[in-house]
Homo-oligomer: A and B are copies of this chain.
Amino acid sequence: MTPRVPAEIRTAIEYLIYDAARLIDDDRLEDWIGLFAPQCRYRVTTRENVDQNLPIALIDCDSLGMIKDRVLSYREANIYNPHLDRHVIGNVRILGEQSGVYEVHSSYTAYQTNPEGETVLFSVGKYLDKIVLIDGEPRFQEHIVIADTWAVKNLLATPL
């Protein structure tokens, strides 16, 4: 069933998800933080953990403050793993809406390119987002990354 969502809200929700990817890829993590609602959660976990109902997550920030801290510490640590990020996101699909909260499913491919210009597949998986409108602009109440890939060769430095 296709939920009845006005076209302009559908577009705004898609753009939020695309902006999250674009700001990471353009290394604008401080702006990326601005896409979250004041009350929010950012979580990176694996399909394996979800399927087995394990509470383990690679990253679990349950407040905006924790997300900011994570970006700050990344800014200090990243000298050890210089790379470019690239996200290609497809299949953005609003599953439903309840009390103003939109549940949205999408699929991602994340690549990393090293300073020699070589690109490797870093991770594939899905986003399961809860999105709210704040002053007419969509924001992440929950931005949940569920990675299929968990045999990750590089440090999980930048957000997915």
Q: A residues within 8 Å of B by Cβ? A: 1-2, 4-5, 7-8, 10-12, 14-15, 18-19, 21-22, 25, 46-48, 84, 86-93, 105, 107-109, 111, 113, 116-119, 121, 123-126, 137, 148-152
Q: Are B22 and A93 in contact (CB under 8 A)?
A: yes
Count of chain copies? 3
Q: Are A107 and B87 in contact (CB under 8 A)?
A: yes
Determine which residue in A86, A87, A149, A150 has the highest number of CB atoms from chain B within 10 A of its CB, and name it.
A86
Contacts of A84 in B (CB 8 A): 47, 148
Q: Are A105 and B148 in contact (CB under 8 A)?
A: no
A126 nearest CB across to chain B (Å): 7
